[in-house]
Homo-oligomer: A and B are copies of this chain.
């Protein structure tokens, strides 16, 4: 039995710690599931207020994290993600209030039937259960994820990055204060008290005790979670997204969409990484030119290299690379079937778009491409829960079960069958 010196109780293994937290989460979840929506909304409004009031304490905790992180040589990008200030805390509090304003997902009657024997059947939306969130760097996830889980009636177990431990504790304390003040169990949102990596392993193996794990962070975190988890995981590893310029595309629209899809923000998962241009599209060179002029490095196949001397040759790997940077790979394709074959071979099933005036071609694309999000004449950068009108999202899933694409409150619920009879026995 390993002794973990970072634990509260020195005799606890990570497995014992997680099992105890899961048991408390289950008990809190049972209370949450029966609590009124008004009470949950009130808890979130009070939590937002507590966050604002705790701003000095959160900033002080964050300063300690920043100091350690700088001493540990974290990259400037990581430091920026970690950093909190008054504006960021205000934005986090406002985010919690936004979740409080979303439509209550619980209690919805998804389906209702009356059987020939008079029994009525309803499928009713209920909380999913206990949700584990494993995240890195950005301490605001402590509040965002907790708020979404709570509003959907779920207990949350949060495991933030070791670099943000002080900030997460301060934010968690404010959330717990709001939840407790509203008369809900503070165990509804628990923060794993140790930075021991073994606790992550214990969370990932807590089958039957945790209903869903959502990793929020870089690729190595998501890959580890997907590899090790013995509980269901909601995530996407890659966003290798395509924008396909069909021969019928309007040249001006195609140029504007491709530049926006690639360059608006290159670091988000909805950014286009590969552009496919139909050999029948008359204006390929202008698309390449527009991307280069927008500051994008272009890697192309032989045909694309021939269009502009500034294009460098793409390697085989480029077609399977999520750059998350101002780099794009471009291939010429010979018609819709060729585009579909390229996408089937290389897409990560996140978001893929066609730009076309030919409606039947576009509908064929929308039907045939097997991705969480398919688009016609729109920028792949719209792949986002907020842009889809879902309010805050817990993440985007490229998995096929339960929830696909942007996942918001509804994805954090399940249903049960409610049968009401008048004494019916089965013949």
Contact = CB atoms under 8 A, between A and B. Distances in A.
Nearest to A261: B425
Contacts of A119: 378, 382
Contact of A418 (B374, B381, B420): B374
Interface string A366-406: 11101111111111011000011100000000001110111
Contact of A375 (B370, B371, B419): B419
A370 B256 contact: no
A115 interface: yes
Nearest to A382: B426
Contacts of A366: 418, 420
B34 A376 contact: no
A27 B384 CA distance: 30
A260 interface: yes
Contacts of A401: 128, 211-212, 232, 401-402, 414
Given A115-B389, A128-B400, A404-B416, A425 B264 contact: yes
Interface in A401-423: 401-402, 404-406, 414-423
A60 interface: no
Interface string A317-351: 00000000000000000000000000010000000
Contact of A419 (B33, B367, B373): B373
Contact of A379 (B253, B371, B405, B426): B426
Interface string A358-372: 000010001110111
- The secondary structure that dominates the A interface is mixed
A90 interface: no
Contacts of A344: 30
A199 B375 CA distance: 39
Nearest to A268: B426
Given A257-B425, A425-B256, A388 B417 contact: yes
A381 B119 CA distance: 13
Contact of A371 (B113, B402, B416): B416
B377 A422 contact: yes
Interface string A228-261: 0000100000000000000000100100110011
Contacts of A261: 425
Of A256, A371, A406, A420, most buried by chain B (CB within 10 Å of CB) is A420
Interface size, A (range): 35 or more
Contacts of A370: 30, 33, 126, 416
Nearest to A410: B111
A114 B171 CA distance: 36
A296 interface: no
Given A372-B416, A387-B115, A426-B381, A367 B421 contact: no
Most buried by B among A115, A405, A417: A417
A314 interface: no
A374 B404 contact: no
Nearest to A114: B389
B375 A425 contact: no
A124 to B, nearest CB: 9
Nearest to A249: B423
A388 B111 CA distance: 12
Given A115-B387, A401-B211, A419 B374 contact: yes
Nearest to A254: B423
A129 interface: yes
Contact of A387 (B211, B374, B379, B426): B426
Contacts of A425: 256-257, 260-261, 264, 379, 381
Interface in A87-118: 113, 115
Contacts of A406: 417
A63 interface: no
Given A232-B401, A264-B425, A416 B377 contact: no
A372 B421 contact: no
**CB-based closest 10 A-B pairs:** A378-B421, A260-B425, A381-B426, A402-B402, A253-B423, A375-B419, A373-B417, A401-B402, A377-B421, A405-B417
